[in-house]
Structure 1
Amino acid sequence: MTATDTHTGDRPSLLLAPAPPSGPLPRLGWALADGWTVARRDLLHWARGPWELGFGLLFPVLMVLMFVYLLGGSMSVPGGGDYTEYLMPGMFAMVMVFGLGETVTAVSTDANRGITDRFRSMPMASSAVVVGRCLADMIRSTLTLIVLIGFGLVVGWQWHGPFDRALLGFGLLLLFRFALVWIGIYVGLVVRGQGGMAVIQTLEFPFGFLSNAFVATATMPVWLGTVADWNPLSSTVAAARELFGGPGVIGEGWIAQNALLMAVVWPLLLVAVFAPLSVRRYRGLGG
C-alpha cells in the first residue's frame, strides 16, 4: 500500500491507495481489469512503432513464399495430396512458436529497465503484469494468424468441410500459442538480458522443425519420428490438418492417432505448469 502526504492549510492528511477487494469474484474482476490496463500499454507501444508489428507480420509471409515456391516443388505428401494444403497448418503453428521470442524479449526488457519493479510498487493485482502480457500477446498472435490465413488463401490453401470445424482448428492453434505465452513469460522473468532471447532462439527452430509441420514423421528414422510425434507442436498440427480436411499422414503410435485429444491436453498441461510459475516468479522479484 502506498501513501502520499498532502496538506490542507496546516493540517496534513493521508491519501491511501484503495484496499484490494475481498471475495474471489471481485478479486478476479480486479485482476482482469488491471491486466487489461497493462495490455493496453503494450498495444499503444505497437501503435507508436508499427514497423515492428509490420515486420512480425511479414516474416511468416516470407516463410510461406519460400516453402511454397522455392521448396514446394521438391516436396511430396505421403499418400498424395497438395503440399501447400499440407504445409499451411504447419506454418500456422510455426508462427505461434516464433512469437515465443517476442514474449521473452518484452518481459525481459521490462524487467531490466525497472518497469516491472515500478508495477510491483503500485496498488494493482499482483498477477496483472503477467496477465496483461498474455492478453497483449494473444491479440498480436490472433492478428498474425488472420493475416497468414488470408495469405494462405491467396497461394491456394483452403479448408474443406464445415466452417465450425475449421474454426475449431484455428482455436486449437491459439490455445497452443496461449500455452507458449506462459512459457515465454516465465523464461523472460527467470533469464534476464540477452540470455533469455538466446535460449529461445536456440530452441525455437529445433522445436519447430522436429515435428510434422513441414514433413511427415513417417519419413524420418523410427526413433526420430517417435520423438517428433511426442512434440506438442505435432499434435496441434495433426489436429488442425484433420479439422481443415487437408492431406495428412496419421502415424502408428497412440500419440499420433489421438492428435485431436492431445492438441487440447498438451497446452492445458503447459499452462497448468507455467502460469502459476510465472505469477510466483513475478511476486518473488526483488525478494
Structure 2
Amino acid sequence: MSSLEKREEIRSGRALAFPLPNAALPENSASALWTHSLIQAKRLLINWARDPSTTVQALVYPALTLIMFRVVLGNSITAATGQPSIYGTVPLIILVGAMFGSIASAVGLRGERKSGLLGRFWTLPAHRASGLVGRMIAEAVRVLLTTIVIIGVGYAVGFRFTQGPLAAVAMILLPIAFGIGFAVMVTALATMSENVPLVELVSIGCTLLMFFNSGFVPTMAYPVWLQPVIAAQPMSVAVDAMRGLSLGGPVLVPVLKMLAWSAGMIAVFLYPIRGYRRAAETS
C-alpha cells in the first residue's frame, strides 16, 4: 500500500476502526470476575514491584528486622526461655511484613482515589467486584513472597522445619489467611477516610503489637496482668500456630483462634469496604 493510499484511509477513518470483540464476557458473570480480577492483581503486583516504598515495607524492612532481633536479642531470649528464639522471631517478622505491606498498599489505594484512577476503572465494562477481588489476590501473592523471603533469611540464621513437609506447607500458607483479613480491614479504612489518617493510626498500632506478642518474647515474660491480653491478641495466636508447625507444640487451638481473628476482621470490615464503590464514583 502506497503512502498516498494510507493517508486516504486515515482521512476516511477506516484506518482507525477497531476490530469487533470476539471474546467478550458478560459483565457480571463469574468468568468476568475471575478474568478481570487477575488483570487487576497483575497491575497491582507490577506497580508494587516498581514502588520502592512497598518493596521496603514488604521485604527489606522485615528481613533487616529479623537479622537485628537475632543479633541483639536472640541469644538472650534463648538462654532465658530454653527455646530457640528464632522460632518465634521468624513467624513474628512474617506477620509484620504482611501487615506493613498491606498498609503501604492501602496508602497507594488512597492515592489512586485522589488521582481519579479508581473512577476511570469504574467506568470500564468490567466486573464491579474485580477491583477488590484483584487487590486481595495481589495481597495473597505478596504475603506468600514475603513469607518465602523471610523463611529464607531465617534459614541463614538457624530456622528449620522440624515437623515434616505438610506442616511446613501449612506454616507458609497460614500467614496468607492472616494477611487477607488484615488487608480487608486496612482497605476498608483507606476507602472510608479522606482526610482522617486512619491507615497511619493502624501503622502505629501495628508497631505496638510487634513488641507486645508471644513472638517477641514468651508470654510468661510479660507482667501477669498483661499475659491474658498478650496471649489472645491476633499476632500471638498466629505466632503460636506457626511455631507449633515449625518447632512443635500446640497447633489446632492457635490455628482456630487465628482463623477466627481473620474471619472476624473480614466480617466486620466487609460491609464498610463497600466504600470502595463510593471512592471510585467520587474520585
TM above 0.5: yes
- Partners in 1 of 2:98 and 2:207 — Cα distance? 12
Partner secondary structure for residue 29 of structure 2: helix
* Amino acid corresponding to residue 268 of structure 2 in structure 1: V
Across the aligned residues of Structure 1 and Structure 2, the Cα RMSD in angstroms comes to 3.0
Instruction: Give the Cα–Cα distance (whole angstroms) in 1 for the partners of residues 87 and 138 of structure 2.
Output: 30
Larger radius of gyration: 2
2:255 aligned residue: 260
2:34 maps to 1:32:
yes
Q: Which moved more, 1:75-84 or 1:43-52?
A: 43-52
Which structure 2 residue ranges, 5 or more long, are not aligned?
Answer: 1-11, 15-19
Q: Separation in 2 of the partners of 1:153 and 1:235?
A: 23
Q: Which residue of 2 aligns with 1:164?
A: 166
236-245 or 264-273, which deviates more: 264-273
Higher strand share: 1
User: Match for residue 53 of structure 1?
Assistant: 55
What letter matches 1:226 in structure 2?
Answer: P
Distance in 2 (alpha carbons) for counterparts of 1:82 and 1:207:
21
Output the TM-score relative to the length of structure 1: 0.81
Tell me whether 1:282 sits opposite 2:280 in the alignment.
Answer: no
Q: Is the 8 A contact 1:112 1:192 kept in 2?
A: no
The answer to whether the 8 Å contact 1:97/1:208 transfers is: no
Residues 1:269 and 2:264 aligned together: yes
CA contact (8 A) 2:54 2:104 kept: no
For 1:103 and 1:241, how far apart are their aligned partners in 2?
28
Conserved? CA contact 1:104–1:196, under 8 Å: no
Residue pairs, 1:71-90, within 5 angstroms:
71-76=73-78, 80-90=82-92
Give the helix-richer structure, 1 or 2: 2
Q: Distance in 2 between matches of 1:150 and 1:83?
A: 16
Query: Do the aligned partners of 2:102 and 2:183 also contact (CA within 8 Å) in 1?
Result: yes
Q: Residues 224-251 of structure 1: CA distance to partner in whole angstroms, max 9, x if unpaired?
A: 11111221111111111111125x7x7x
Other-structure match for 2:243: 241
Deviations 1:108-159 (A, max 9, x none): 1111111111111222111111111222222122111111111100111111
Is this contact kept in 1: 2:54–2:101, CA < 8 A?
no
**Amino acid paired to 1:94:** V
Return the alpha-carbon distance in structure 1 between the equivalents of residues 198 and 53 of structure 2: 23
Q: Which amino acid aligns with 1:202?
A: I
Amino-acid identity (%): 26
- Tell me what 1:4 maps to: none
Residue 282 of structure 1 aligns with an amino acid whose one-letter code is Y
| TM-aligned CA distance change 1:276 to 1:150, over 3 Å | same
In 2, distance between residues paired with 1:242 and 1:57?
Answer: 24
1:96 to 95, 98, 113: 98
Q: How many residues end up aligned between the 2 structures? A: 264
Counterparts of 1:182 and 1:111, CA distance in 2: 17
Identify which of 138, 141, 145 aligns with 1:143. Answer: 145
Contact 1:105 1:196 (8 Å CA) reproduced:
no
Unaligned runs of 5+ in 1: 1-6, 10-14, 251-255
Q: 2:179 aligns with which of 177, 180, 183?
A: 177
Three-state SS of the structure 2 residue aligned to 1:211 is coil
Q: Provide the residue aligned with 1:120 in structure 2.
A: 122
For residues 51-80 of structure 1, give each alpha carbon's deviation from its aligned partner in whole angstroms, at most 9, with x where no partner exists: 852664211111011100122233246652
User: Distance between the aligned counterparts of 1:185 and 1:44, measured in 2?
Assistant: 19
Counterpart residue number, 2:197: 195
Structure 1 residues 177 and 37, CA gap change in structure 2 (3 angstroms) = same
